[in-house]
A and B are shown apart, each in its own frame.
Chain A
């Protein structure tokens, strides 16, 4: 793969009930990304937006943000899915030789619709949807399957929540920074056994944008480029009954391919910091395993060991992760933006000292049916 860099990033603060509309929110992120890169819109060759018609409550939701994302006068397109996939499409367009720079943006105002109903619409309309499944109830099934298979405890899941909400205190963009204990998580209201309120991610509104550039065009940007070393994604079966809920093969497959592209053979030793899509606390433990940070079934022991804490050998989610700000299709793109900040050494109080290789991860679908893994380096 030829060298492509992330040369600019922009994020809004993530919070509930933002008063800006879709375009205003999106513009805040794209403007920040341009200013961050020290370039103007005229330097952007094409645009990839990220929308979801269900969350936005309109069809062709990308219409609302076309202007705000910089589409006027240039080739533009739109991905519906996690922001890691739109960034992947942006990377492919940049690699095609047709465009030298690509603006990738994502926005979501989860608070304007009914998220439980919207996630319910991802279930098969003629089978599971009628059973009223949603993100929490389906994830609870997955959590139970995973915990039972490998002897993971509720306390170990709670530790993820304590770590990430605690890390969020260092991130000015995070929605829910909290100073909590394992006991607080365990005593929070049970939503769907074994998932408790503090094991879940919040309903957040927000936007994020990143700018990709070929090596030649990256030289014109003000920032030190962060290079994309490997990217891959992969999908599992649709129906929960057809999947191994306790182990994500597509994650391992995507990770291995991304590592191969990046020349990484020992991920836990070679990766300095990771931003993963922890929509629920148990997920982060499962992703440790799929990403090869530990052996299968060892996710609980890894969190117990402190390796993934700030100050550990492989800090995971210094930003506070998705548990602390969940603006759905924005969340994966935010993971990339956070990885870029780490590699530039500009992550402020959440900086992992000397980070040289970072991983960003996004998921899509019910119980993370699809995974996308990014490896970046400075």
Chain B
């Protein structure tokens, strides 16, 4: 009996939560939906301007947090801007969408689109950090087949 108890102490067990998928169906809402339609149908990036303070937000949203007013003034921002910040991800982690490790190196960028006051996050098709500079001009590369998601933009590329 004594030995059995000792064994129990030696074995510290672990259990897995299993492989069950837990799928969500998020509504994009009344402001992200037109933004995605802009990507899908017109290959353009839409922002929204606060008519009170003049700030242009991308991605568009209903309320300007600073003025707490509903925004109505849509702005076509086109597809060009400059790199505000970037990082080259070299540590693979589990992609929460697929459960598999992400492919590295992968360059995440913050693009300040011309005419916008906030940045859009996306990928850059360059993973050598010595070839990327803050402020470099970039353009969105659109996919041939577009479905109305953020991945209708394949990535950004330096001009």
Contact = CB atoms under 8 A, between A and B. Distances in A.
A114 interface: yes
A20 B61 CA distance: 11
Given A18-B27, A23-B29, A113 B63 contact: no
B74 to A, nearest CB: 16
A130 B15 CA distance: 10
Interface string A83-127: 000000000000000000000000001001110010000000110
Q: Determine the main DSSP class of B at the interface with A.
A: loop
A114 B61 contact: no
A301 B116 CA distance: 65
Contacts of A70: 65, 68
A70 B23 CA distance: 30
Interface size class of B (residues with CB under 8 A): 20 to 34
Contacts, number: 63
A114 B30 contact: no
A21 B68 contact: no
A126 B63 contact: no
A109 B27 CA distance: 9
Contacts of B17: 125
A20 B63 contact: no
Given A113-B22, A114-B22, A126-B15, A24 B29 contact: yes
Contacts of A24: 29-31, 62
B63 A23 contact: yes
Nearest to A113: B24
A304 B75 CA distance: 61
B104 to A, nearest CB: 22
B30 A68 contact: no
A20 B62 CA distance: 10
A19 B20 CA distance: 27
Interface centre among B17, B25, B32 (most CB of A within 10 A): B25
Interface in A48-75: 57, 66-68, 70-73
B1 to A, nearest CB: 25
B56 to A, nearest CB: 15
A40 interface: yes
A27 interface: yes
Interface in B16-43: 17, 20, 22-32
A18 B31 CA distance: 14
B8 interface: no
B62 A73 contact: no
A41 interface: yes
B61 A117 contact: no
Contacts of A112: 24-27
Q: Determine the main DSSP class of A at the interface with B.
A: loop
B2 interface: no
B68 A41 contact: yes
Contacts of B23: 114
Contacts of A23: 29, 61-63
A346 B62 CA distance: 29
B42 to A, nearest CB: 22
B100 interface: no
B68 to A, nearest CB: 4
B63 A73 contact: no
B33 to A, nearest CB: 8
B66 interface: yes
A68 B25 contact: no
A41 B67 CA distance: 8
Interface centre among B15, B17, B24 (most CB of A within 10 A): B24
A19 B27 contact: yes
A21 B27 contact: yes
Contacts of A31: 68, 70
A31 B15 CA distance: 46
A38 B54 CA distance: 25
Contact of B65 (A19, A71, A113, A117): A71
Nearest to A34: B68
B22 A20 contact: no
A31 B70 CA distance: 10
B26 A57 contact: yes
Interface in A24-42: 24, 27, 31, 34, 40-41
A50 B111 CA distance: 32
A21 B26 contact: yes
Given A71-B65, A72-B66, A125-B17, A19 B30 contact: yes
Interface of B: 15, 17, 20, 22-32, 61-63, 65-66, 68, 70
Given A20-B29, A21-B32, A41-B68, 12 more contacts: A20-B27, A21-B30, A23-B63, A24-B30, A24-B62, A31-B68, A57-B22, A57-B24, A70-B65, A71-B65, A112-B27, A113-B22
11 contacts: A19-B27, A20-B30, A21-B31, A23-B62, A41-B68, A57-B24, A67-B65, A112-B24, A117-B20, A125-B17, A130-B15
* 4 A-B pairs closest in CB distance: A21-B29, A72-B65, A67-B65, A57-B24
